[in-house]
Structure 1
Amino acid sequence: MKVFSKSCASLVAAGLMALAVAPASTQAQTQAQPSAANPFGLPENFSIFGDQASGERSATAVVNGYVITGTDIDQRVALVTSSSQNQLSEQELQRLRVQILRNLIDETLKIQAAEALELPVDKAQVEQTYNQLAAQNFGQNPERMDEYLISVGSSPAALKRQIEGELAWENLLRRNITPFVNVSAEEVNDVLERMEKSRGTEEYRLGEIYLSATRENRDAVLQNARAIMEQLRQGGSFVAYARQYSEATTAVVGGDLGWIRLGQLPPALAEAARQMQPGQLQGPIEIPGGFSILYLINKRQVLMADPNAAVLSLRQISIDFPADVSQEEANAKVNEFAAFVQTLRGCADADRARTEIGATVVANDQITAGSLPDQLRNIILNLQIGQVTPPFGSPQEGVRVLMLCGRDDPQDVGAPSFDTVMSQIEEERINKRAQRYLRDLRNDAYIEYN
């Protein structure tokens, strides 16, 4: 990449002046030779000339003549942090701004490349996508999207620019990458054969945030990944952070990798995913080329029925507590409640809880296992008909149990279609080529940091 900046120019000038007045060494220094571990032949000991603060990352940039302003960065930062319930520290905010600037540079390169190839994004398509997002988030009042973005310190223009970048990238991939990715019938049949042999083994639906790193910037990228991980633990939206941060092409779908088997992942990611339960996060995990943060959306067995698709018939039995109940009184009442529900002889007997202890009984005969919270789902899927979960809840919101009254399991699924497998292989190859394509765009860019 050709990078020009005032700070770099002053550093060079200072270095030349220092060399001009430095005394000559009495002995010739041995120059380090390039090697695989040290490709530039950098010396082990050296002096830095000029102000070291000039190496700090800049706040704005000009990309092939297009100006990225501080306002652009501020509004995009607000877009990312609006989903977090905790305020960022000054250090975390600075790392976020650095990453946002990188993202805006990449976004600009994509838009410019599409325009150069006469593939500009249709503004009507940007508006349509924006309106779809508004409808998804605000239902019958999509106009509230504008108000919300402004209220959090962002703007409709900031989100529309991001949408334009994603659509431009899709246009570029459709022209320059996708037509040149070929998958043979033999490859697809080989995958289908391996899947059949793997019937019953687990596969995972994962979300990933991938950050590329080099040996030179590894520590900075790791710090950034840890900051993202902390924000996710505090309630940040994984999909939002993946769209903003991830450098993989899956960023446009919130980092969703789809259903994959562990053998398809780098060893470090496979080992992490193996130990995860649905809803858990892991990372940052170092892999060749960078770091990944994983989110396990769900898991199932290859070519077997997905237990999360089971349709359950449940009875909820709940009790309430007075507002002034003490902890001791609440504990005693919960123990009595737990003992009572164990005396119930199946679902036909559940209404006895209403007459004998004043409990509330609610029936639902069409609830899918996958719609239940993770903790409850795992318990209920191991119950027999007529059994109940342990009591759960709180004195403030009430304590309840769920009784399993029926379960309709889905049929075992067959292997995916030939076309589905071919599409998955193509997507993986497109992803790898897209990363190389973006790297080429960066290398050919003229970027001036301010």
Structure 2
Amino acid sequence: MKSKIKKFMDLVRQRNQFEPEFLQAVEEVAETVIPYIVNKEIYYGKNILLRMVEPERVIMFRVPWINDVGEIVVNRGFRIEMNSAIGPYKGGLRFHPTVNLSILKFLAFEQVFKNALTTLPMGGGKGGSDFDPKAKSDGEIMRFCQSFMGELFRHIGPNTDIPAGDIGVGGREIGYLFGMYKKLRNEFTGVLTGKGMSWGGSLIRPEATGYGTVYFAQSMLETRNDSLKGKIVTVSGSGNVAQYACEKATQLEAKVVTLSDSGGYIYDEEGIDASKLAFVMDLKNNKRARISEYIDKYPKAKYVEGKKPWGIKCDVAMPCATQNEVNKVDAKKLLANGCFLISEGANMPSDPGAVHAFQAAKILYAPGKASNAGGVATSGLEMSQNSLRIVWTREEVDERLQDIMSNIHENCIKYGKQDDGYVDYVTGANIAGFVKVADAMLAQGVV
């Protein structure tokens, strides 16, 4: 079996040199899916996984825009349309200086499996730009978004490709992008998700990824007749996902003690309650300030510069910042400090060494493609509401979100339960997602 996986990965590496994040994502899937394929006659010999790792379309374009001092700045724009076997391409746009082809291909590949796990009819895609919205004025961000959409609009549509937000792309950016799309196409359609409530958005959408991450953790705990009540939780990040993971975990009577940003992390032993979280939300969403300012308001807390929060004693960890933020050393610290559950809010936040350490310890470990699927699931619900021209209540959307996360958890158990009773959620998520997409690809022929 190892030789088959190696042969497959050698070919993928040959075709995708200098794309480490993408190769990491593919290898993690290949290690679990290829043994399954070999034992299933319906898939064996069809090169389905090889077809899945090749994007159906890669779009790269120039994005020129004018800054506030009148200079012309040029960024790169991307859209990876990875797989449309089960529905139109669906996935976020990321504006961050680290954006490159490798990162977006890894995200698009993960998105294919994540979207399949939701059971909603959505294919996988991802896009973005190396544009950095930090320290930019609203005018600069608007001009960039308008230029970006000036090219992207040719490739997207409500039945073709429906982008959403991601790192660096929130409600403000979605508004500017949608306004330009509407102007260029002269139509009002649900072509973007994450819209404002007054123009086609969905309740719970901003909260969905963070809430879903917590709902998945709760489902894992229920397999051990346990709950989040009284658990100490460390959360990384302080953006949208981290904020709402903190909110929901606190509502379920857990105690969240950390948040972070690229500068370092804060540790509040007393817990980050609703009022403290409201301060963080204002700090990050409105003032766009650093998390270190938390200790100015709450001096009993500590700020640790240049570090990640994985050395803090906890029961549950929720990495909600970015890819590869947890390495093998971090994983060993978490395990040594009593952490027995990881629910990932970010995409691929644990590197291979960390993943293998969690699996070897047989703790409850949920990969991001399963545990953070709540965001895209609720985007799918927003698409449904747009198509029907209706708005569901907050309670209706939240109920549907909880049902979707519960179904994802059940599918992970179905394909990931081992002979000794341990549930390998990585294997379960990968195979469950693969089966849905592969069956659709087989039915549609060689396309």
- Compute the TM-score of the two structures, normalised by the length of structure 1: 0.23
Who wins on radius of gyration, i.e. which is larger? 1
Larger RCO: Structure 1 or Structure 2 (Cα < 8 Å, ≥ 6 residues apart)? 1
- Compute the TM-score of the two structures, normalised by the length of structure 2: 0.24
